[in-house]
Amino acid sequence: MSDSLEEYLEVACGLTKEVGQIIRNKIWVDKQSIVTKEHKHDFVTETDQEVEKLLITGLSSQFPDHKFIGEETTSSGVKAEFTDDPTWIIDPVDGTLNFVHGYPNVCVSIGLAINKELVVGIIYVPVPDLMFTAIKGKGAFLNDKKIHVSNVKNLTDALLILELSGGAIAERRQTYVDYVSAFLCHVHGIRSAGSAAYNMAMVALGGGDCYFEIGIHCWDMAAGAIIVREAGGVVFDTTGGEFDVMSRRVLCAASEELAKQVVPYIKQTSPARDD
Ligand code: LIP
């Protein structure tokens, strides 16, 4: 089994590097062709669609019995089917709003689940060429060098990562304003990268200590969940319960102690599940 996981990772990393070149070539090209999805700040570009197609075509030619859940395929109306079959969960461009603006925190995020368990994760940040990878039980790596979460256990020592997204939706706007004012007097600082996958990679690297978000999708967090865990961190539901990749809720941290201190501040909501 572990040989196969290594083969899956190798093939997926090769394809990811190839599509990364497309993202690098296009990020600062004048105008992306943009379409909006769930709300007026929720974008998709031709690059998202092109990259997802190339990844799915490349992976399915090597692994014809594998299944796929892709952000753009799903938003075109194909229902996500999460079964026990090996399933690649793909966000071709996580941080599309960044991409549209030319802000380089943009990732290709690919998780592989077998029997609904995440076993391989890749987060590739093509502009600075950062390749985060993990295989279950084998640790997490950045460009082949082993990485580990920080040793922060207290909120008062933490660099907290918060997304300030969904500005087009009044209720979400207020929630983020409330979070900033609640956390700012406790933590060392707050960062917002614009990509769930990037945020989770930062927790895995020890660059940030804790990140949570409600309302994102399985393709935003599948790869990050295994990479954070393999880097020694914890991944929970935002209530502090068991993480469920289809729930659209994630809380990850360098330590369980830190995660549990953050839970009481989170405004819990239950968006429609991905499955
Ligand atoms: C984005 C997430 C981000 C969230 C955005 C959006 P996309 O994913 O990475 O964490 O705050 O609303 O969901 O749409 O760029 O793939």
Binding site membership of 216 for ligand 1 (Cβ less than 6 Å)? yes
Number of C-beta neighbours around residue 16 at 10 A: 25
Helix (H, G, I), strand (E, B) or coil at 34: strand
pTM for this structure? 0.95
Residue located nearest, by CA, to atom 10 of ligand 1: 196
Q: Is the CB of 147 under 6 A from ligand 1?
A: no
- Mutate which of 42, 43, 165 for ligand 1 pocket (most atoms within 8 A of beta carbon): 165
Across-strand partners of 213? 250
Q: What are phi and psi of 120, to 5 degrees?
A: -140, 140
Strand stretches in the chain, DSSP E: 34-36, 43-45, 67-70, 87-94, 107-114, 117-125, 130-135, 140-142, 145-147, 159-162, 189-191, 210-214, 234-236, 249-253
Ligand 1 proximity of 196 Cβ (cutoff 6 Å) = yes
Residue 9's contacts (CB-CB under 8 Å, 6 or more residues apart) are: 120, 122, 133, 135
Does 114 contact ligand 1 (Cβ within 6 A)?
Answer: no
Return the residue whose CA atom lies nearest to atom 11 of ligand 1. Answer: 165
**Ligand 1 center to residue 171 CA distance, Å?**
17
Going by CA atoms, what residue is nearest to atom 13 of ligand 1? 216
Interior/surface letters 155-187, b for 16+ CB within 10 angstroms, e for the rest: beebbbbbbebbeebeebeebbeebeeebeeeb
Which atom of ligand 1 lies nearest, measured to the CA of 197?
9
pLDDT tens sequence for the chain (275 residues): 445 999 999 999 999 999 999 999 999 986 656 666 666 666 778 899 999 999 999 999 999 999 999 988 887 778 888 999 999 999 999 999 999 999 999 999 999 999 999 999 999 999 999 999 999 999 999 999 999 999 999 999 999 999 987 667 787 889 999 999 999 999 999 999 999 999 999 999 999 999 999 999 999 999 999 999 999 999 999 999 999 999 999 999 999 999 999 999 999 999 999 99
Query: Closest ligand 1 atom, CA of 215?
Result: 13
How far apart (Å, rounded) are the C-alpha atoms in residues 19 and 223? 17
Cβ 195 under 6 angstroms from ligand 1: yes
Please give the distance, rounded to the nearest whole angstrom, from the Cα atom of residue 93 to the centre of ligand 1: 9
Binding site membership of 96 for ligand 1 (Cβ less than 6 Å): yes
pLDDT score, position 76:
76
Residue to mutate (ligand 1; options 106, 216, 218, 274; most atoms within 8 A of CB): 216
With a 6 Å cutoff on the Cβ, whether 94 touches ligand 1 is: yes
Looking at residue 31, what is its pLDDT?
A: 60
**pLDDT at residue number 40:** 61
